[in-house]
Amino acid sequence: MRRRAGTNARRAVAEWRLRCGRRAPQPFGKQTRLQNATALSKRRAALKTDVVERALRRPTPQHIEADRAKLWHPYAATPGAPCLPVRSAEGVRLELEDGTQLIDGMSSWWAAVHGYRVPELDRAVADQLSSVAHVMFGGLTHRPAVALGELLVRCTPPGLDRVFLADSGSVAVEVALKMAAQYWRGRGRPEKCRFVALRGGYHGDTLGAMSVSDPATGRHEAFATIPRHHFVARPPSRGADFTKAIESLAEVLARDDVAALILEPLVQGAGGMHFYDPGYLQQARQLCDDHDVLLICDEIATGFGRTGHWFACDEARIAPDILCVGKALTGGYVTMGATLATEKVASHVCAAPPGSQDDALPLMHGPTFMGNPLACAVALASVSKLLKGGWWRRRVRAIEGQLCAGLNPCVGLDTVADVRVKGAIGVVEMKAPLDAAKVAAACPALGVWLRPFGTRLYTMPPFACTARDVARICEAVCFVAANAGDYH
Query: Which segment (154-162, 293-301, 359-367, 369-377) binds ligand PLP by CB under 6 A?
Result: 293-301
Q: How would you label 328-339 residue by residue, b for 16+ Cβ within 10 Å and e otherwise? A: bbbbbbbbbbbb
Query: Do 457 and 434 touch, CB atoms closer than 8 A?
Result: yes
Using the contact rule CB under 6 A, the part of the chain among 17-25, 118-126, 214-222, 297-305 near ligand PLP is 297-305
Which amino acid type is present at position 415? T
State how far the Cα of 365 lies from the Cα of 342, in Å rounded to an integer. 18
SS3 string of 303-322? CCCCCCCCCHHHHHCCCCCE
| Closest to ligand PLP by CB, 213 or 283 | 213
Per CB under 6 A, 321 contacts ligand PLP? no
Q: How far is the CB of 293 from ligand PLP (least distance, A)?
A: 20
Q: Does 326 bind ligand PLP (CB under 6 A)?
A: yes
| Nearest one of 416, 413, 328 to 379, comparing CA atoms | 328
For residue 106, give the 3-state DSSP assignment. coil
Environment class of residue 4 by beta-carbon count within 10 Å: exposed (0-12), middle (13-18) or buried (19+)?
A: exposed
Q: Does 424 bind ligand PLP (CB under 6 A)?
A: no
200 contacts ligand PLP (rule: CB under 6 A): no
Q: How far is the CB of 111 from ligand PLP (least distance, A)?
A: 8
353 belongs to the binding site for ligand PLP (CB under 6 A): no
Q: What is the dihedral of CA 392, 393, 399, 404, to 10 degrees?
A: 150
Q: Between residues 383 and 446, which has the closer beta carbon with respect to ligand PLP?
A: 383
Catalytic residue among 167, 214, 327, 385: 327
Which of 107, 108, 170, 459 is in the footprint of ligand PLP by CB under 6 A?
A: 170
User: How far apart are the C-alpha atoms of 466 and 402, rounded to whole Å?
Assistant: 10
72 SS3 class: coil
| Nearest residue to the partner ligand PLP, using Cβ | 169
Q: Which stretch binds ligand PLP (CB under 6 A): 78-86, 232-240, 298-306, 439-447?
A: 298-306
Instruction: Figure out which of the listed residues 204, 208, 320, 406 binds ligand PLP, where binding follows CB under 6 A.
Output: 204
Q: Is 165 in the site for ligand PLP (CB under 6 A)?
A: no
| β-bridge pairing 194-198 and 258-263 | parallel
| Interaction site with ligand PLP (CB under 6 A) | 168-170, 173, 202-204, 264, 269-270, 298, 300-301, 326
Active site residues: 75, 202, 298, 327
